[in-house]
Structure 1
Amino acid sequence: MRLATVLTPMSDENLQLAAQCGVTDIVHRYADAATLRASRQRIASFGMTLSVVEGYLPIEAIKLGADDGRELRLLKTLVRDMAELDVRLLCYNFMAGTDWVRTRLDAPERGGAKVTAFDLTAADAAVRLGYTPADVRADELARQLSPAKLWDHLERLLNELLPVAESCGVTLAMHPDDPPLPALLGKPRIMHTVEAFERLVRLAPTPANAVCFCQGSFAAMGVDIPAAIRRLGPHIKYVHFRDVRGTAESFAETFHDNGPTDMAAAMRAYREAGFAGPMRPDHVPQLVGEDDGEPGYTMLGRLFAFGYIRGLMHATA
């Protein structure tokens, strides 16, 4: 397996810090071919590889069943551009009308560190982080969806995009709903159980149709993490290595070594499952001096995570 990260911002200093900490793979947000090509060259100059595209994808209308064909064309173009640049993994989610949601950005963790948290009772006032639909109808359309319609929209996307991905040697990895609830803010969700991911891979039994195993989301589902890794093992091609304390209705992020999950057992399960892909820390605590940074995505907490993850990789090899 390979240590990966997203960098916010992707500055020369952060690239150098990542390289110094043993990161080999960099995750990039959605961009056009020219931007990805330039980023790939820049990342390579620090001795690392651009290997994943994740976030801000042109996919929101597809989830809603409102795409006029434009988003599908953009995604197909993206997959072809990625193949040309030898970027082999595209991570996406199917949360319609929202992205990942938190109701607090400054919940206390060890030593006064700040973490993001979610409480369903405060969801109406939720801080929404991620993609903001340009279409003002999106919220209304999302509320009109049903789980069955969402599955239909997902199957239609897979039927269109997977043949392109297969021909290009690109893998699509589905991220779970975050929080993993059957509905949020009046909008249904479908990727919130292990069974849903088993259904996903049955929809299109091809190696190009894969799972992003976000440990924090699966932990919030209340499942046994090592057991779930073994259950989905052959289909896991990308990992968000993190932990939370609580339930899907109410949880907070934790330091990697300060949550309820046996992280060493999880790492052993990945190895037993044959996982060899990119693994990145996600939603790290915000440490002292980082108050101006983006909650969950500041650098000092990520440096701690790099060392912890590398230690587990070496200890379980």
Structure 2
Amino acid sequence: MKMTFRWFGEGNDPVPLEYIRHIPGTDGIVWALHDIPAGEVWPIEKIQAVKAQADAAGLHTDVVESVNVHEDIKLGLPARDQYIANYKETIKNLATIGVKVICYNFMPVFDWLRTDLFKELEDGSTALFYESSRIDNIDPFVLVEQINADRSMTMPGWEPERLQHLAKLFEAYREVTPEKLWDNLKYFLDEIVPVAAEHGMAMAIHPDDPPWPIFGLPRIINTQESLRRLVSLHDHPANGITLCSGSLGANPANDIVAMIHEFKDRIHFAHIRNVRVYDNGDFIETSHRTQDGTVDIAGIMKAYYDIGFTGYARPDHGRHIWGEKCRPGYGLYDRGLGIMHLWGLWDAYHYADTKKGE
């Protein structure tokens, strides 16, 4: 397993690169060019600038999260061919610095969604929170206004160019069924996966977050069955998965340990985090300990250990602790603690293995 840490770039992330290097067993950053609108080609010079920054800190840049997919591709509009051509150019440009994995998602309009960015937990820390009744009863335009009014830094998946045209996008998706979205995803994969494979990369789709439809928009990557269908759409090792235990774990019916064993050859990137799910469908993010949430983190790490996972992983979101001023869900302290907990589990399984033959 190769441990990484998400970093949003100078001026957009309060965590210095040299602090990431302090976390034992953490060798790389997960990054993106957040200032490039979805659909545009990522310039080589900007890619190389990030590489130079990471190199100076002794960190690799093997994983990109995310190269966002333009809405015209998801909608299956005529302009998608040009945006797919641009995506291919970005893949080729990323190949110049040796990128190995591209994380992306195929969620219409919205990426991840929460109703409270700083919900207080019992210990006084705060975390991202999803209140199902608010989503069921709120106008999405009002929600966007609320979130936009309370942030000073960009939030991945909430790109301004998309949100400025929200009404138009909702109208465009009115005729898009889940099956049509599957068709459009296959069209995209058939074009992109061969290019990624040619350049030594893998595409790794991120599941829906939360793992169910919202605001009447179709969402299709949220169960074991849907992941099975995903890998069969374009049957090639470069067509893979970002297995996110927090996103999928918001639905207790999802058996993430079983997913790890079934898709072991297609998991190129692992997001490992915990959530506590309530009976009414609400959920809040917690520490990485199994006991603090609903997701079996210990079992998940055992599954990764048992399959001999050599892909990339990151602790994903964390709580906001010790007075840290940080991006919602992306502080240094709790994600650092999360990494040490995950490595602690891994080392314990390894130690137990070494003692079996004695």
Instruction: Give percent identity, aligned residues only.
Output: 33
1-side partners of 2:277 and 2:76: how far apart? 33
> Does 2:21 correspond to 1:24?
no
1:142 corresponds to: 173
1:4 corresponds to: 4
**Kept in 2: contact 1:4–1:26 (CA 8 A):** yes
* Residues 47, 188 of structure 1: alpha-carbon distance in 2 compared, 3 angstrom cutoff: same
> Does 2:206 correspond to 1:175?
yes
**Kept in 1: contact 2:114–2:129 (CA 8 A):** yes
> Does 2:334 correspond to 1:301?
yes
Structure having the higher strand fraction is 1
Which of 282, 286, 310 matches 1:250?
A: 282
Deviation at 1:59, TM superposition (A): 2.5
1:214-258 CA-to-partner distances (Å, cap 9, x unmatched) read 001121222232222112222111001101111694211111012
1:165-188 CA-to-partner distances (Å, cap 9, x unmatched) read 11111100010000000x211111
Q: Which amino acid aligns with 1:29?
A: A
**Structure 1 ranges of 4+ moved more than 3 A:** 8-13, 125-129
Q: Which amino acid aligns with 2:89?
A: T
Q: Which amino acid aligns with 1:260?
A: T
* Residues 141, 249 of structure 1: alpha-carbon distance in 2 compared, 3 angstrom cutoff: farther
Which of 295, 301, 317 matches 1:261?
A: 295
Which of 155, 158, 166 matches 1:131?
A: 158
2-side partners of 1:219 and 1:194: how far apart? 12
- Matched ranges for 1:65-214 at <5 A: 65-66=76-77, 68=79, 69-123=81-135, 124=138, 126=143, 130-132=157-159, 133=162, 135-136=165-166, 137-181=168-212, 183-214=213-244
1:135-173 CA-to-partner distances (Å, cap 9, x unmatched) read 452222123311011001100001111111111111000
Deviation at 1:309, TM superposition (A): 2.1
SS in 2 for 1:27: strand
* Residues 113, 12 of structure 1: alpha-carbon distance in 2 compared, 3 angstrom cutoff: closer
Q: How many residues align?
A: 315
Moved more, 232-241 or 53-62: 53-62
Deviation at 1:109, TM superposition (A): 2.3
Q: Which structure: larger Rg? A: 2
Q: TM-score, normalised by structure 2?
A: 0.82
Consecutive unaligned residues of structure 2, counting only runs of 5 or more, are 34-41, 148-154, 351-358
1:24-63 CA-to-partner distances (Å, cap 9, x unmatched) read 1211114432112111122112211001111362432211
* Residues 13, 227 of structure 1: alpha-carbon distance in 2 compared, 3 angstrom cutoff: closer
Which of 251, 255, 276 matches 1:224?
A: 255
1-side partners of 2:214 and 2:14: how far apart? 38
1-side partners of 2:234 and 2:67: how far apart? 24
Q: Which amino acid aligns with 2:250?
A: A
1:66-99 CA-to-partner distances (Å, cap 9, x unmatched) read 3613321221011111222100100011101111
2-side partners of 1:304 and 1:8: how far apart? 19
* Residues 21, 71 of structure 1: alpha-carbon distance in 2 compared, 3 angstrom cutoff: same
